[in-house]
Amino acid sequence: MKHAIMFSDIVGSTQLYEKLGDSDAAECVNQCISRMSEIVRSYGGNIINTIGDEIMCCFKSADPAVLAANHIHEAFCSEAVTGFDIKISLRIGIDYGEIVTRDNDVFGDVVNVAARIANIAVANQTIVSEKLIMGLSYDLRNKTRKYDRIAVKGKTDLLTLFEVMREDRDVTVMRNSITSTHGNIVQSLHLIYKGKSVTLQSNSKAFVLGRSINSDLVVEGGLVSRSHAYCVYRREKFILIDQSTNGTFVKTAEGREVYLRREEIPQIGRGTISLGESARMDNGQVLQFICV
């Protein structure tokens, strides 16, 4: 039987801990998890798991999942967390398809895709798959718009994603075409690590960097996650997406280093990528990248 799988997580939780301190931030996150969970259950959803600042939940059909997502955004946009003078933003991703249930947990491709979609969403945004769109009622389907096309590891075809539009959100009208027609078009990305060179083309599948032997490029190191980050081609450029525990450091040719944790950045020109710690540590785990 098909189900909708939704991931909802707090945007900027790292900064939240820096601003409030560990104890208050943990209490704030717990309140957010509780509020999200209550809303999910009110639409017939089941909480499958909570992972830090994120919940994973399951719905028997597509409509309740989208309605719950809208309600969650509205609840957090309208009021601050109790006891804290701070507004919390969330990002939500939903996929729809067949699942396998075992020991109060769910498994399947739909779970992996939903998690991937959630990582693409930005603050106060719900992104859903085309399969989810096809399961929506007419009225809700008309409140979505095409958002992007992405590559996912293990899938041959690009996935078309949609954004759920809400009445409480001021949205800029997009061009009909998903693909950008401005700026320089990048056609290939060269990655160099310990003398090994790999070239990605615009039609390449998602390319995974990590310490797992199943990664497309194995990067050794105690601070490197098994599936640390991956590169995809989107809107005429390559995007590096971090999904690690310790984050990714990207340094441009101009010398500016950017820290990513569960975030993404376009690869422009040339520079370095360091997994788990800054390239300044000179640990020998640094990749070079060149966009052409």
| Better-predicted residue by pLDDT, 283 or 40 | 40
Tell me: do 160 and 216 sit in the same domain: no
Domain limits at 262?
A: 188-291
Which pLDDT does position 154 carry in this prediction? 66
CATH at 212: 2.60.200.20
Q: Is residue 182 part of a domain?
A: no
pLDDT band at 71 (very low <50, low <70, confident <90, very high): very high
Tell me: do 147 and 36 sit in the same domain: yes
Report the C-alpha gap between 269 and 189 in whole angstroms. Answer: 9
pLDDT band at 250 (very low <50, low <70, confident <90, very high): very high
Cβ burial 144-183 (10 Å sphere, 16+ → b, else e): beebbbbbbbeeeebbebbbbebeeeeeeeeeeeeeeeee
- Per the structure, the count of domains in the chain is 2
Which pLDDT does position 12 carry in this prediction? 78
Position 176 pLDDT exceeds 60: no
Position 237 pLDDT exceeds 70: yes
Which pLDDT does position 129 carry in this prediction? 94
Q: 76 in helix, strand or coil? A: helix
Position 146 pLDDT exceeds 90: no
pLDDT band at 177 (very low <50, low <70, confident <90, very high): very low
Tell me: do 19 and 154 sit in the same domain: yes
Q: Is residue 172 part of a domain?
A: no
Which pLDDT does position 156 carry in this prediction? 67
Give 74-114 pLDDT, tens digit per residue: 988 877 676 676 778 899 999 999 998 888 888 988 999 99
Tell me: do 141 and 227 sit in the same domain: no
Tell me: do 260 and 134 sit in the same domain: no
Q: Is residue 181 part of a domain?
A: no
Beta bridge partners of 197: 192
CA 24 from chain centre, in angstroms, equals 26
Position 173 pLDDT exceeds 60: no
Percent of the chain at pLDDT above 90?
48
Q: Is residue 179 part of a domain?
A: no
Which pLDDT does position 153 carry in this prediction? 66
pTM: 0.61
Q: 62 in helix, strand or coil? A: helix
Tell me: do 202 and 250 sit in the same domain: yes
Average pLDDT (42-70) is: 95
CATH at 116: 3.30.70.1230
Distances (CA, A) of 110 to 31, 49, 68, 70, 154: 28, 15, 18, 21, 13
pLDDT band at 164 (very low <50, low <70, confident <90, very high): very high
